Amino acid sequence: MQNSKEELNHTLLSNGLDFVDFSISEMNSNETKKIKYSILHLYAGLALAFKERVHVEHWALVFSKPDKISRVKYEEGDFESISLDKTIDLLKEICEINFSKEHREAIDALRKLRNKIEHFSFTVSREQIKPLFARVLNVFVNFIDEHLIEYIDTEEESTFEDIKGSAIEFREYVEERIKHAQEQSLSHKKDLFHCPECRELALIRYDDDYKCFACELKGVDATSVAVTHLEECLETYYDPNCDWPLYDCPECTGNQVLVPRAKNYLEFICVSCGEIISREHMHFCNSCGEVFYSAIGEKGSGCCSNCWDLALGKD
């Protein structure tokens, strides 16, 4: 039997994920009246996810009134919990989690819309709501990925994967994810590649794998990334029976995963290890035609080391 803390953990995060899962289904529904529920459920799910991260630090932090903190009431769920604004304050003060200006604006816009639905008149179309809905979905996915993924259990992870899979049906959400990929690319100083699955420029290679921030693809091989790069970035259709600008990387000895970084062919990048090589240091052997590399400041000799060895009669 689970203890009470584990049960409350499960309730907070699982319910938050379920609310967001429901909100996507409702936004996709043909029933106009379900639009309001999609907003209410998205807000509730976001608030619960934020509250869960605070709760990870200590169960008493979720009480709105410090003088009312009671272990008994906590275990019974008989207490008033902190507001969304207070939760965000605690995330900053206790968990050292800060939201960007853009993300905070999206959260505030959702809160105002939710308040209108609950307390005032509400007249808006699905198409008007979708951009905000997508922005907040992106905030939610980022938050789980960056601050809660290590606390998530198998069932919750399955729901989270369902959410991400359903979310990519919204073009607005995909565009938010592409923007996030661009931010990650800049902050981690890593090149972006087109994803072999969704073809979006949202794929980044980390130490042990690639990740597409648009469709969440993982486990892709370097060759597929190199080929997609040729077709999407260089607008060159790849034919394995023809000669295309695919070369072995001198650093990681990858099998034809070094490609032109851009259409001007001034630099080449290895999609496997990220090594960037200037075109002036790449040479084609006069004998076998294979590419070989010179060090910075050196000029190519005309032949690769293997052909030189053969010419000199070396084993």
- 3-state secondary structure string across 181-237: HHHHHHHHCCCCEECCCCCCEEEEECCCCEEECCCCCECCCHHHHHHHHHHHCCCCC
Q: Kindly state the average pLDDT of the residues 61-73.
A: 91
**Residue 251 and residue 143 in one domain:** no
Domain span including residue 91: 4-167
- CA 40 from centroid of its chain's CA atoms: 25
Quote the pLDDT of residue 279. Answer: 85
Q: Which residues contact 311 (CB under 8 A, 6 or more apart)?
A: 287, 303
How many Å apart are CA 75 and CA 63, to the nearest integer? Answer: 12
In 3D space, the residue among 226, 144, 231, 214 whose CA is nearest the CA of residue 180 turns out to be 214
Quote the pLDDT of residue 102. Answer: 93
CA distances from 102 to 47, 48, 105, 135, 140 (A): 17, 20, 5, 9, 13
Rounded (10°) angle between helices 126-143 and 154-167: 140
The model's confidence at residue 299, banded by pLDDT at 50, 70 and 90, is low
First to last CA, the chain: 70
How many Å apart are CA 137 and CA 34, to the nearest integer? Answer: 17
How many Å apart are CA 141 and CA 195, to the nearest integer? Answer: 19
Last residue within a domain, chosen from 167, 182, 204: 167
pLDDT digits (tens, 9 = 90+) for 156-210: 999 999 999 999 989 999 999 999 999 999 998 888 999 999 999 999 988 778 9
Quote the pLDDT of residue 285. Answer: 81
Quote the pLDDT of residue 37. Answer: 92
Task: Work out whether the CA dihedral 5, 7, 8, 13 comes out positive or negative.
Answer: positive
Q: How many CB atoms lie within 10 A of CB 128?
A: 11
Quote the pLDDT of residue 77. Answer: 83
Q: Percentage helix, strand, coil, to 5, in the chain?
A: 55, 10, 35
The model's confidence at residue 4, banded by pLDDT at 50, 70 and 90, is very low
Residue with tokens 């996709």: 28
The model's confidence at residue 103, banded by pLDDT at 50, 70 and 90, is very high
Quote the pLDDT of residue 9. Answer: 43
CA distances from 127 to 87, 115, 172, 243, 315 (A): 30, 19, 10, 47, 71
259, two tokens? 């490609």
**Residue 158 and residue 45 in one domain:** yes
**Residue 225 and residue 118 in one domain:** no
Last residue within a domain, chosen from 132, 147, 167: 167
How many Å apart are CA 11 and CA 224, to the nearest integer? Answer: 41
Q: How many domains does the chain have?
A: 2
pLDDT digits (tens, 9 = 90+) for 236-286: 776 666 667 888 887 776 577 888 888 888 898 988 888 888 888 888 787
**Residue 18 and residue 147 in one domain:** yes
Domain contains 196: no
Q: Which residues pair with 267 in a beta bridge?
A: 278
Quote the pLDDT of residue 240. Answer: 62
Report the chain's mean pLDDT, rounded to a whole number.
86
Domain contains 181: no
How many Å apart are CA 26 and CA 260, to the nearest integer? Answer: 45
How many Å apart are CA 149 and CA 160, to the nearest integer? Answer: 10
The model's confidence at residue 1, banded by pLDDT at 50, 70 and 90, is very low
Domain contains 202: no
**Residue 130 and residue 256 in one domain:** no
* pLDDT greater than 50 at residue 5: no
**Residue 77 and residue 11 in one domain:** yes
In 3D space, the residue among 306, 285, 305, 280 whose CA is nearest the CA of residue 295 turns out to be 280
How many Å apart are CA 226 and CA 276, to the nearest integer? Answer: 14
Domain contains 172: no
